[in-house]
């Protein structure tokens, strides 16, 4: 084997495992993208800009569902999200009938000053005392329904309640 001193040795990726490292790196990157895609998609269904959500609800003739939550600390909020809001039947219903707004009061997750201010104002406006609290509004921002606490019965019962309210 010939080496040149003072110059970087030429590398043959096949001989030194570079191809294996490259494939491993590609595999790891692809796995991250694949595994994070469902979470990114789920989050994108929820807005946190109330004014934008209200415009969308008005334009598309949908109700606005505000989920007042402590997403990173409230056990009942996490249970409500897992058992109802994250279920496929609720997501399908919401896609057709609702504009979803997360009004979050996290303890560890960072939030902008503007978002914190908006969320505080919404909590005061709808007299939210605890979490989770669900507020359903029409496109004009008029309150149709408010539910404080965990909603029992799973996604079918929750959808049935929303459908009853939607039909008047």
The structural domains of the chain, with segments of one domain joined by +, span: 13-44, 46-167
pLDDT computed for residue 18 by the predictor: 52
pLDDT at 5: 33
Who's near 165: CB < 8 A, 6+ residues apart?
Answer: 63, 136, 144, 145
pLDDT of residue 150: 97
Confidence (pLDDT) at 77: 98
Residue that has been written with the tokens 């096949």 in this structure:
14
46-167: what fold?
Answer: Glutaredoxin (3.40.30)
Average pLDDT for consecutive 10-residue bins of the chain (168 residues)? 36 48 45 40 75 96 97 98 98 98 98 98 97 95 96 98 93
């Amino acid at each position: 084997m010939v080496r040149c001193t003072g110059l970087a040795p030429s590398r043959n990726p096949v001989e030194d495992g570079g191809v294996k490292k490259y494939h491993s790196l590609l595999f790891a990157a692809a796995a991250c993208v694949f595994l994070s895609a469902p979470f990114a998609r789920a989050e994108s269904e929820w807005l946190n800009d109330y004014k934008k959500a209200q415009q969308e609800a008005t334009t598309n003739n949908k109700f606005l569902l505000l989920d007042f939550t402590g997403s990173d600390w409230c056990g009942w909020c996490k249970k409500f999200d897992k058992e109802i809001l994250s279920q496929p039947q609720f997501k399908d219903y919401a896609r057709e009938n609702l504009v979803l707004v997360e009004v979050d009061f996290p303890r560890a997750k960072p939030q902008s000053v503007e978002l914190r201010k908006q969320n505080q104002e919404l909590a005061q406006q709808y007299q939210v005392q605890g979490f989770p609290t669900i507020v359903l509004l029409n496109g004009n921002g008029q309150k149709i329904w408010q539910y404080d606490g965990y909603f029992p019965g799973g996604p079918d019962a929750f959808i049935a309640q929303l459908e009853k309210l939607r039909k008047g």
